[in-house]
Amino acid sequence: MSDYIINGGRKLRGAIKTNSAKNSAVAILCALPMIKGRTVLNDMPRIEEVKRIIEILTSIGLTVNWIGKNKLEIINGGIVNLNAINQESFQKTRAAILLIGALTSVVKKFSLPKISGCKLGKRTVNPHTIALNHLNIQAAKVKDQFHVNSSLAKAAAFTMYESGDTATENAILAAVLLPGKTTINLASSNYMVQDLCYFLAKAGAKIKGIGTTKLEIIGVKKLKPASYSIMPDPIESMAFISIAVTTNSRLTITHCPIEFLSLELEKLRVMGQIMTISRAIKSANGQFDLVNITIIPSLLNALTDKIYGRPFPGLNIDNLPLFLPILTRARGQTLVHDWVYENRAVYYTELNKLGAKVVLHDAHRVTVTGPTALKPAEITCPPALRPAINLLICMLAAKGKSILHNSYSIDRGYENICERLNRLGADIKRVD
């Protein structure tokens, strides 16, 4: 568990590249028990969340090796031993729930430990279990375990109970090896779902409708090993945009997946943010349009309407918190409605320790009034990734020395964040 010591109030400058998507990486890694042989994943982020999934995979019998800095080799010899699963690692990451869908074609009856991840209040697994039940897969949470029986699994047409990202991914993973045609209506079409689908398609899966809310999957007998490059992370792009705006710095963020940022940028444009956007190039996997976004110091006005997240193509639910630091610079008052998670909005009030004016109305809504002069403080990271990075962003803007304790929440999703920001002119010291 590390601490960050931040000497804030500095203008940042230069360019920073968007790293690969955490949520794509963990979903694709969770698919690997289904694929015998040697898979190579390029542009794999070296973050704590990925390390936890690797620990789980190696514990059940897969061989995982780093080849160079960000290339991962995974060898599946065809033997999966769930009795040896690393329960501690499993319980540290909610993404491990994706192993349920992946393992249904490998082991007919099995149990998995409970999951954890960010502490955001009650997070139901009903969308997962209901989707799997449509495929005649019995998945039930009993005390501290998931009990799964896929011995009678079969293809089906159904509507997602909730258009959740990981719930959709679990349904996809369970369906790609089921004989017959599965149709998933109201599927999430978010970036990580698309990335998983493109990877599975390269491995031999037959999936139609990628990028839409209706997926048609024709089951195949087996998947084959493939080489695939993880897409850049639109949430990391937005974090750097938030850093640039909050510190009033001119920064260029490169390799931004524009399709998954366009609404966020429109909100900023309406607020008065000046920016330039380059022509698009294709991602390394050939599936996504990437642009460079240059943020130019601007005077901002608060949005007259509330701001809220919703399933893609709405404003990304994980990008919503990243507007909080930005709103401390905007003249006026903005209502932020974080309706998805029960307790995430509560963490937003931690920004008040840094001079922000955040009023909590209930477990889902806050009002932010700006502009405010941010001040340094000593704070412990909350056990949630996006509220934690918000503290770092505001500390970068607050003139003076701040201390951010227990950075694990940030390290889960951002690779070498201190070093990368220091190259832009920040002054962050990491103390292990």
Three-class DSSP labels, the chain? CCEEEEEECCCCEEEEECCECHHHHHHHHHCHHHCCEEEEEECCCCCHHHHHHHHHHHHCCCEEEEECCCEEEEEECCCCCHHHCCHHHHCCCHHHHHHHHHHCCCCCEEEEECCCCCCCCCCCCHHHHHHHHHCCCEEEEECCEEEEECCCCCCCEEECCCCCHHHHHHHHHHHCCCCCEEEEECCCCCHHHHHHHHHHHHCCCEEECCCCCEEEEECCCCCCCCEEECCECHHHHHHHHHHHHHCCCEEEEEEEEHHHCHHHHHHHHHHCCEEEECCCEECCCCCCEEEEEEEECCCEECCCCCEECCCCCCCCCCCHHHHHHHHCCEEEEEEEECCCCCCHHHHHHHHHHHCCEEEECCCCEEEEEECCCCCCCEEECCCCHHHHHHHHHHHHHCCEEEEEECCHHHHCCCCCHHHHHHCCCCCEEEEC
Average pLDDT, the chain: 95
Same domain, residue pair 357 and 368 = yes
Rounded to the nearest 10°, the torsion over CA 234, 236, 242, 243 is -150
Distance of alpha carbon 357 from alpha carbon 370, whole angstroms: 7
Answer yes or no: do 161 and 287 share one domain.
no
Domain end residue (candidates: 179, 213, 229): 229
Domain with 327 in it:
3-19+232-431
Same domain for 237 and 223, yes or no, is: no
Count of residues in the chain: 432
- Of 179, 196, 229, which marks where a domain is finished? 229
Instruction: List Cβ neighbours of 344 (8 Å cut-off, separation of 6 or more).
Output: 120, 121, 321, 338, 384, 386, 387
Return the pLDDT at 427: 98
User: What is the average per-residue pLDDT within 258-264?
Assistant: 98
Residues 133 and 256 in one domain: no
d(CA 160, CA 148): 19
Average the pLDDT over 78-100 and give the result: 93
Residue 141 has a pLDDT of 81
The structural domain count of the chain equals 2
Whether residue 190 is found in the same domain as residue 306: no
Identify the burial level of 65 via C-beta atoms within 10 angstroms of its C-beta, where 0-12 means exposed, 13-18 middle and 19 or more buried: exposed
Q: What confidence tier does 282 reach under pLDDT thresholds 50, 70, 90?
A: very high
Q: Are residues 7 and 85 in the same domain?
A: no
Whether 188 and 264 map to the same domain: the answer is: no
Q: Residue 120: its pLDDT value, please? A: 46
Asked if 424 and 304 sit in the same domain, the reply is yes
Task: Name the token pair of 308.
Answer: 């809220």
Residue range 97-132, pLDDT digits in tens: 999 999 999 999 999 987 764 554 555 789 999 999
> Are 252 and 139 members of one domain?
no
Q: State whether 225 and 262 are in the same domain.
A: no
Average pLDDT over residues 394-406: 98
pTM (predicted TM-score): 0.95
CATH of the domain at 198: 3.65.10.10
Choosing from 229, 258, 276, the residue where a domain stops is 229
347 plus 272 within the same structural domain: yes
Q: pLDDT tens digits for 135-194?
A: 999 998 887 788 999 999 999 999 999 999 999 999 999 999 999 999 999 999 999 999
Residue 201 shares a structural domain with residue 244 = no
pLDDT at 88: 92
- What pLDDT was estimated at residue 114? 78
Percentage of residues in the chain with pLDDT exceeding 90?
91
